[in-house]
Amino acid sequence: MTGRVDELLALARSTRGFMPDEEGAALYEAARRAGAAAAARRDGAPVFVEIGAWCGKSTIYLGAAAEAAGAVLFSVDHHRGSEENQPGWEHHEPDLVDPADGRIDTLPHWRRSVSAASLEGVVVGVVGDSPTIASCWRTPLDFCFIDGGHGEEPAWADYRGWAPLVAEGGLLAIHDVFPDPADGGRPPYELWCDATGSGDWEEDAACGSLRVLRRLRRTAE
Ligand code: SAH
Ligand code: MG
């Protein structure tokens, strides 16, 4: 099994996306722990959700953990890119534009990544608007990774939509948390501050801009 995990982590590292190697390894490790904890708590496959998949880099890190833990990973993205990925913005990559309609489409890239990793058995793509999906979601989450739109409005919508769905004892990971404004945008850090200040979460792990929180108790349903 170690061979398979190493192979997947190497594949994730070489996949296009926005996740430094060390943070990816920490993401894998956190999800694997969440899966093991869920398996000890109850029967049934642990449920992982990622918000923001892009071309599938974090999907492979999390898919590797899902496979190891016997979990299912739901990978949520509309695959149209965030505001910051659109033409004229900082993180635009012109070759991801579909010439047929001039819009970003990362879905074919994501699909290729998941297929190349042979993870189609444990990864389910959910293509659509994250808050809309969250509003209809009922299954408690054992692991939730928030890395969708990083603007104020989308980041808070993801947090308000998904964080309440994390099971007691489950983990919430937030990417691009930068305490120093010189290092990056504010919203992910503000979500992390809200969570740590609420008393509902305890800090579990940190690596670079990746922060992992453990749910102590559930409040609003
Ligand atoms: N985790 C990825 C990077 C994600 S980039 C990696 O490892 O490389 C952020 C992603 O969030 C983009 O793919 C964008 O399409 C998605 N996104 C932004 N707003 C969204 C929304 N409202 N619903 C669904 N996906 C959204
Ligand atoms: Mg990110």
The answer to whether residue 65 sits within a structural domain is yes
Domain presence at residue 123:
yes
Percentage of residues in the chain having pLDDT higher than 70: 97
Which atom from ligand 1 is nearest to the alpha carbon of 104?
Answer: 15
Q: What is the CATH number of the domain that holds 143?
A: 3.40.50.150
Q: d(Cα 46, Cα 35) in Å, to the nearest integer?
A: 6
Predicted pLDDT at 2: 62
Residue 125 inside a domain? The answer is: yes
Averaged pLDDT for residues 135-143: 98
For the chain, the domain total comes to 1
**Within a domain: 92:** yes
Residue 221, in any domain of the structure: no
Probe ligand 1: pick from 15, 23, 80, max atoms within 8 Å of CB?
Answer: 80
Sequence-ordered list of residues with C-beta below 8 angstroms from that of 184, at least 6 positions apart, any chain: 176, 178, 209
> Does residue 220 belong to any structural domain of this protein?
no
Ligand sitting nearest the alpha carbon of 51: 1
**pLDDT at residue 219 tops 80:** no
Contact yes or no for 168/187 (Cβ under 8 A): no
Whether 92 sits among the annotated catalytic residues: the reply is no
At residue 139 the predicted structure's pLDDT band, cuts being 50, 70 and 90, is: very high
Q: Could you tell me which residues come within 8 angstroms of residue 93 by beta carbon, excluding any fewer than 6 positions away?
A: 85
- Domain assignment of residue 208, given as a range: 2-215
152 within some domain: yes
What pLDDT was estimated at residue 90? 86
Atom in ligand 1 nearest the alpha carbon of residue 106: 13
pLDDT in tens, 190-217: 999 999 999 999 999 999 999 999 999 7
What pLDDT sits at residue 180?
A: 97
The predicted model gives 22-31 an average pLDDT of 98
Q: Which of 78, 79, 109, 150 is catalytic?
A: 150
Q: Residue 147 class from Cβ within 10 Å (0-12 exposed, 13-18 middle, 19+ buried)?
A: buried
pLDDT for 149: 96
The CA-based diameter of the chain, rounded to the nearest angstrom, is: 49
The predicted pLDDT at position 217 comes to 77
pLDDT for the residue numbered 220: 53
Tell me: the pLDDT tens digits for 166-192?
Answer: 999 999 999 999 999 999 999 999 999
